[in-house]
Structure formats: structure tokens, C-alpha cells
Chain A
Amino acid sequence: MIKADKENLLLYELNDRIDVRKFCCEDDEVNDYFHNKALINNKMFISKAYVVINKNNNDIVGIFTLSASLLKLTEKEQYGISRVPTILLGRIGIDNKYRKQNLGRFLLEQAIGICEEVKKLIGCRLLMTESISGSKILAYFKNLGFKYETTDKRSGKIFEVLSFDLF
């Protein structure tokens, strides 16, 4: 394990000068996405991947993606809206060398900081994410102020959808 001092962590949008193949977290699907798909999705403006780098050794400490999304509502006349513009925190991972240091919180802080900048330019009210029902991550997010919105069932799994109010 490598100890990361938060004062040494840097945040950049993923670009082709960053060798993302060095990154390895415990989720193979997250690794596969960042190794093979993240850069092209960045270039095509489908989803933006951000990397947190340790300035002492240029290691990629963590990685996350943000993309525009929508939360559909059952139509209501009261406020004249049938959907809420949101930002989706789609993927997040901490490199195995940097685990057990609560760096997930640091990554979330950066994601929320970016959302704060975005919301000055375009309407977006919620930061959304989801995880498998009953998982520890959900409890962690809720402790930070994320709220339960709904349950989604797909691919034989049950997910809890959470939101963080950017107001």
C-alpha cells in the first residue's frame, strides 16, 4: 500500500498523455472501462473521465466519470416539470495500491466540485449514482447526504438509486 497525502493529489480530465493502463482497482469491469473505453468516450463527449494523480510518483490514485442524465418523474402539474436534469456519477474506482485511506471521499468531493461549476452554466439539480441494494457503499453515500430515490431492477440485480442535491 502507498500512503497518499491529499495535499499531493492532482485532478485532471483523462487525456492521451495519461497512461491509464497502470490503473488497477478491485472491479475488473471498471478497469476494462478505463483501459479501453474511457478515452474515446471523453473525446466523443459521451462521458467525462477524471483521474486523480499522486504528484510524487505520477500514479493514478483514483478515477471517476460524470455524464449528463435525466430523472423522469410521474407527470405533475404543480411545478410544471416531468423530469429533473441530473449528472450521473457512473463509475468510480480507487487503485489497489491506495485502498483503505478513505480516498473515495476525496474523489466524491472533486466530483461535486465539478458539478458545482457545471450547474452555473446549465440546469442540473442532482448528482445521481446507484449501487446494489444493501451494499456498504450505499450506507457510506447516505452518511454523506445522498438520498434514496428509488429501486431499479435489471440484469437480475436490485439497485438503489441515490441522489445528492446540488442546490
Chain B
Amino acid sequence: MENNLDELKSQEKKLDIKPHILQTEEVPELNINIDEENFNIELDESESENLIKRLFEEKPDKNVSDFKRKALESYKKTKERSEKFKKKIFG
């Protein structure tokens, strides 16, 4: 266990984990593969405080509100269209 932790720490040092700066036209391919069984996240004290502050005390971020509004419009349109074409797709 201790050896594993040491190994991880040493790998972390070796890895370049500087945030990637996204160029304007650059759209990465979205591929995500998370094994739900292993996704068991616990925040530390300072991360918990930050999150609670954000969730309970701060106004919603404008980027989030804008994207959510656009997402909802897109979803509603897609849902309506999908209902309409259900027969064509599934017979």
C-alpha cells in the first residue's frame, strides 16, 4: 500500500499536469470512459468548503447559466423531433 502511494507520488512528479490552454478553434474529441464502480470521490476539507460555498452562497456562474439555457433549448427540440421520428426509426 505504502509502496503504491510512493509510486503514485513519484509518477505525479514526473507527469506534466499543467492545464491545457484551449485554442479558439480547437475542439477535442470527447471520449470519456469512467467505470462507475470505481468512481468514489471524497473531497478534502478545503475542497468541501469551496464546493459548499459555491452551492449555497454564490450566485450561479453566468457561463453555466448560458450554457444550461442553450442546452435545454437544444434538448427540448431534439426530444420533440425524436418523438416525431420514433416510428421511422423503430418501425
Contacts and interface: CB of A to CB of B under 8 A. Distances in A.
Interface size grouping (class) on chain A: 35 or more
Contacts, number: 208
B19 to A, nearest CB: 7
The interface residues of chain B, by DSSP majority, are classed as helix
Contacts of A81: 52
Given A76-B52, A134-B15, A27 B28 contact: no
B33 A33 contact: yes
B71 interface: yes
21 contacts: A10-B85, A10-B89, A11-B78, A12-B82, A12-B86, A33-B33, A72-B40, A72-B43, A74-B45, A74-B48, A90-B33, A90-B39, A102-B27, A129-B32, A134-B19, A137-B32, A149-B43, A153-B8, A158-B17, A165-B54, A165-B60
Interface of A: 6-7, 9-12, 17, 25-27, 29-30, 33, 46-47, 53, 55, 58, 67, 69, 71-74, 76, 78-79, 81, 84, 88-94, 99-100, 102, 104-110, 112-114, 116, 125, 128-131, 133-140, 143-145, 147, 149-150, 152-154, 156, 158, 161, 163-167
